[in-house]
Amino acid sequence: MKIKDFNIECDNLKIEENEFSKGSFAKVYKGSYYGNPVCVKVIKKDTLIDKESWVFLKREIGILKNLLNQGHKNIIRFIGIGEKDSLLFLVTELINGGDLGNILLDHKFHIPWSLRVKIAKDIAEGMEYLHSKQIMHRDLKSNNLLLGRNWTIKICDFGFAKEITIQNPLSMTICGTDEFMSPEVILGIQYSYSADIYSFGMVLLELITRSKLDERLPQNNFDIDYEELQNKIPSECPREFLELSMKCCNYDPNDRPSFTDIVQTLDQLAIKLVKETPDGPYPSTPIVVSNPHFDDQSINDWCMLSLIPDDCLENLNEFAEIENNINNNNNNNNNNNNKNNINNNNNNNNNNNNNNNNNNNCKVICENCASPQSTSSVNSSFSNSSLGSNGSNSSGTSTSSGGKKRSQKRKSWKCLIN
Q: Over the stretch 357-402, which tens digit does the pLDDT of each residue have?
A: 444 443 333 333 333 343 333 333 333 333 333 333 333 333 333 4
Decide if 61 contacts 7 (C-beta within 8 A). no
Same domain membership, residue 172 and residue 57: no
Backbone angles phi, psi at 52, to 5 degrees: -60, -40
27 is in an annotated binding site: yes
Of 276, 300, 322, the domain-final residue? 276
Instruction: Give catalytic residues, as residue numbers.
Output: 139
80 is in an annotated binding site: no
**Predicted pLDDT of residue 336:** 52
| Rounded CA separation 35/237 (Å) | 44
239 versus 278: the higher-pLDDT residue is 239
Q: Over the stretch 76-106, which tens digit does the pLDDT of each residue have?
A: 999 988 888 888 899 999 998 889 999 999 9
Percentage of the residues of the chain whose pLDDT score is greater than 70: 62
SS3 241: helix
Burial (CB count <10 Å: 0-12, 13-18, 19+), residue 74:
buried
| Those residues with Cβ within 8 angstroms of residue 264's Cβ, 6 or more apart along the chain or in another chain | none
Same domain membership, residue 161 and residue 86: no
Q: Which domain holds residue 185?
A: 100-276
Instruction: Kindly report the CATH number assigned to the domain that includes residue 60.
Output: 3.30.200.20
Query: Domain for residue 284, yes or no?
Result: no
Instruction: Of 108, 174, 106, give the one whose Cα is nearest residue 142.
Output: 106
Decide if 209 contacts 233 (C-beta within 8 A). yes
DSSP characters over 67-134? HHHH--TTBPPEEEEEEETTEEEEEEE--TT-BHHHHHH-TTS---HHHHHHHHHHHHHHHHHHHHTT
Same domain membership, residue 114 and residue 184: yes
Query: Domain for residue 245, yes or no?
Result: yes
**Predicted pLDDT of residue 175:** 87
Same domain membership, residue 328 and residue 248: no
Q: Which long-range contacts (CB under 8 A, 24 or more apart) does 384-391 make?
A: 385/307, 386/416
Q: Over the stretch 278-336, which tens digit does the pLDDT of each residue have?
A: 444 433 333 333 333 333 443 343 333 333 344 443 444 444 454 455 455 555 554 55
Helices first, then strands: H and E counts in the chain: 13, 9
Decide if 87 contacts 45 (C-beta within 8 A). yes
Backbone angles phi, psi at 408, to 5 degrees: -70, -40
Same domain membership, residue 116 and residue 88: no
Q: Over the stretch 138-190, which tens digit does the pLDDT of each residue have?
A: 999 999 999 998 899 999 999 889 988 876 777 878 888 899 999 999 999 99
Same domain membership, residue 132 and residue 89: no
41 is in an annotated binding site: yes
26 is in an annotated binding site: yes
| Rounded CA separation 180/155 (Å) | 15
pTM of full prediction above 0.75: no
| Rounded CA separation 119/266 (Å) | 10
Q: Which amino acid is at 331?
A: N
Query: Domain for residue 342, yes or no?
Result: yes
Query: Domain for residue 283, yes or no?
Result: no
DSSP characters over 177-190? -GGG--HHHHTT--
DSSP designation for 170? -
| Rounded CA separation 101/179 (Å) | 12
Same domain membership, residue 179 and residue 123: yes
Decide if 80 contacts 6 (C-beta within 8 A). yes
Percent helix, strand, coil in the chain, to 5, is 45, 15, 40
**Predicted pLDDT of residue 21:** 76
148 is in an annotated binding site: no
Same domain membership, residue 258 and residue 115: yes
Same domain membership, residue 160 and residue 58: no
Q: Is the pLDDT of residue 233 over 60?
A: yes
Query: Domain for residue 3, yes or no?
Result: no
| Rounded CA separation 333/338 (Å) | 7
23 is in an annotated binding site: yes
Query: Domain for residue 282, yes or no?
Result: no
**Predicted pLDDT of residue 179:** 93
Instruction: Of 320, 299, 338, 331, give the one whose Cα is nearest residue 418.
Output: 299
21 is in an annotated binding site: yes
Q: Count the domains in the chain.
A: 3
99 versus 408: the higher-pLDDT residue is 99
| Rounded CA separation 185/162 (Å) | 14
Write the CA distances from 365 to 5, 315, 318, 370, integer angstroms. Answer: 82, 9, 10, 12
6 is in an annotated binding site: no
Q: Over the stretch 45-80, which tens digit does the pLDDT of each residue have?
A: 877 767 677 778 888 888 888 776 678 999 999 998
Question: Helix 375-384 crosses helix 316-331 at what angle (to 10 degrees)?
Answer: 130
Same domain membership, residue 375 and residue 237: no
Same domain membership, residue 405 and residue 315: yes
Query: Domain for residue 286, yes or no?
Result: no
Query: Domain for residue 109, yes or no?
Result: yes
Q: Over the stretch 8-33, which tens digit does the pLDDT of each residue have?
A: 888 889 998 887 777 667 889 999 99
Of 250, 276, 302, the domain-final residue? 276
Strand partners, 89: 42, 82
**Predicted pLDDT of residue 83:** 87
SS3 19: strand
28 is in an annotated binding site: yes
Q: How distant is the alpha carbon of residue 116 from its chain centre?
A: 7
22 is in an annotated binding site: yes
Instruction: Kindly report the CATH number assigned to the domain that includes residue 199.
Output: 1.10.510.10
Same domain membership, residue 84 and residue 106: no
